[in-house]
Amino acid sequence: MSGLAGVRFWRETKSRYNLTGNRCGVCGTVFFPPRPVCTRCHRESIGRMEEHKLKGTGEVLTWTFVHEPRPGFEIQVPYILAMVRLDEGPALLAQMVDCGPGEVRIGTRVHSVFRKIGEEGKSGVIYYGYKFVPD
């Protein structure tokens, strides 16, 4: 197995493992994943984007059941994919785990957990990162 996908994932390890985004030093907007420039302040924010570790707490904006998984997720079907609004502002798409459909609603408070995201087959690299569980 070529390690190319592994290398790409590895570059994003810091944000995937520790929910590390960044924050505009001008207006304070927080971004995840980190952005090179602030979407509000544009050129003014150049050189003023600071690394910012997110707490991993937030609430569900919307969610859906996945019955047709992407490769590597077959054993987890059916699983829940949610759009989570983090308390610092950014929204992200992530898998919800350790819960059934009755436990997730719009507005449900959630926090991040460290889980396996996928793997390159049985002999390849294993990817880890954030998923969410209800509080």
Q: Which residues bind other proteins (CB under 8 A)?
A: 13, 17-18, 71-72, 74-76, 97-98, 113-117, 121-122, 126, 128, 131, 135
Q: Which tokens go with 50?
A: 């600071």
CA distance 30 to 36: 12
Q: Which is nearer to other proteins, 35 or 111 (CB)?
A: 111
Residue 60 CB, shortest distance to other proteins, in Å, is 18
CB of 24 to other proteins, least distance (A): 23
Query: E strands of the chain, at which residues?
Result: 20-24, 30-31, 49-53, 57-66, 79-86, 91-96, 109-119, 126-134
- Contacted by 107, from other proteins, Zn ion, none: CB < 5 to 8 Å by type: none
